[in-house]
A and B are shown apart, each in its own frame.
Chain A
Amino acid sequence: MKNKLKLIIIFIFLIFCFVIFYKGLNNSNTYIPKANDEKNIPVFKAKQFNSNNYINSEKVFEENSYYIVNIWASWCAPCRKEHPLLVELSKSKSVKLIGLNYRDNLNNAKKFIDELGNPYSQILIDSDGILSVEFGAYGVPETFLIDKNKNIIKKFIGPINKEIVKEIKIIIK
């Protein structure tokens, strides 16, 4: 009877280990952060792209509308790929696009915008990446959807695609 109990315990323990390792094998070994946590937008002061003036976050997000904050850089190849989709999104009247130029050379950034078009109603310069950290970003490209209550409701890590554009369009409708 005692031996039987021992065997059952060992068997349960082995199954427990197997389930954990099996789950671990199927998991990606890169960290995928929670992208749907609602957070308030940070309070900041940033330099504007087209002038040397500084602007407060309150002024940037002053309208009662949805906002998309897109972190981009001219040296980032995926940013180039997602840019036409941002141009497409900028045609919608219910959302305003804010660009955050991340650790970039200003001349190269200007060339990038001249070449591919400007979907942003406002571009802010984040030369040292601090502003992106305030948003909780990992790198470029990254896109945040902000609702009318000024909460970050969605975070898209990496370049956006057609499915994401569809998802955004449904939300901002």
Chain B
Amino acid sequence: MKTLKVILIIFLIISFSPIKSDEKNEELKNKILKNVRCLICQGQSVYDSESDFALSIKLIVDRKINKGWSEDQVYEFLRKKYGDWIIYDPKFNKNTYILWLLPMLLFLIGGAIIYKKILKKNNEKSL
């Protein structure tokens, strides 16, 4: 009876693990496709689009994931083929550093102005 239980458990583990890995692959695929821009349709991700271009990208991403490629490897492949624009989340490089640094710079400048004003007000009050 005990052996039967062990066999049953092993069977269940074996039979469910591919489903789990399929689910994981599907999740990863959807995550990638939502972050990839459909270059021929305006304002749509590849995930949302049914254009020929999007269908081909969906297929190729599916194949790469099934081959065991990581998320970053897929993005790098698409970047090499189509440039940074294809990814919604742009990488930090010489073309995008203003995009990344400008909000921080504005935040710092704004913060400094506010800080200076508060300091000035406090000084006036104390006088």
Binding site for B on A (CB under 8 A): 29-31, 33-34, 39, 102-103, 128-130, 132-134, 136, 138-139
Residue of B nearest to A131 (CB): B56
Q: Pick the most buried of A130, A133, A134: most chain B CB atoms within 10 A of its CB.
A: A133
**Residue contact A33 to B85, C-beta cutoff 8 Å:** yes
B81 CB within 8 Å of chain A: yes
Contact assessment for A138 and B53 in the assembled complex, using a CB-CB cutoff below 8 Å:
yes
Residues of A within 8 A of B85 (CB): 31, 33
A133 touches B42 (CB 8 A): no
Contact A129 B52 (CB under 8 A): yes
A-B contact count (CB 8 A): 39
Nearest 4 CB-CB pairs, A to B? A129-B56, A136-B81, A133-B56, A133-B60
Given contacts A33-B82, A136-B81, A138-B39, contact A130 B60 (CB under 8 A): yes
| Cα-based distance from A134 to B56 in the complex (angstroms) | 10
Residues B55 and A129 in contact, CB atoms below 8 Å apart:
yes
Task: For the complex formed, measure the closest distance between the CB of A46 and the CB atoms of chain B, giving whole angstroms.
Answer: 14
| Residues in B lying within 8 Å of A, measured CB to CB | 39-40, 42, 52-53, 55-57, 59-60, 63, 80-83, 85
Chain A at the B interface: SS class? loop
User: Which residues of B sit under 8 angstroms from A132, Cβ to Cβ?
Assistant: 56
Can you give 25 A-B contacts (C-beta < 8 A)? A29-B42, A30-B42, A33-B82, A33-B85, A34-B83, A39-B80, A102-B52, A128-B55, A128-B56, A128-B59, A129-B52, A129-B53, A129-B55, A129-B56, A130-B56, A130-B59, A130-B60, A133-B56, A133-B57, A133-B60, A138-B40, A138-B53, A139-B40, A139-B52, A139-B53
| A132 CA / B53 CA spacing, docked (Å) | 9
Question: Is B83 within 8 A of A33, CB to CB?
Answer: yes
Chain A residues within an 8 Å CB radius of B56: 103, 128-130, 132-133
In the complex, what residues of B have CB within 8 A of residue A30's CB?
42
Contacts of A39 in B (CB 8 A): 80
Q: Which residues of B contact A33 (CB under 8 A)?
A: 39, 82-83, 85
Determine the chain B residues whose CB is within 8 A of the CB of A102 once the complex forms. Answer: 52
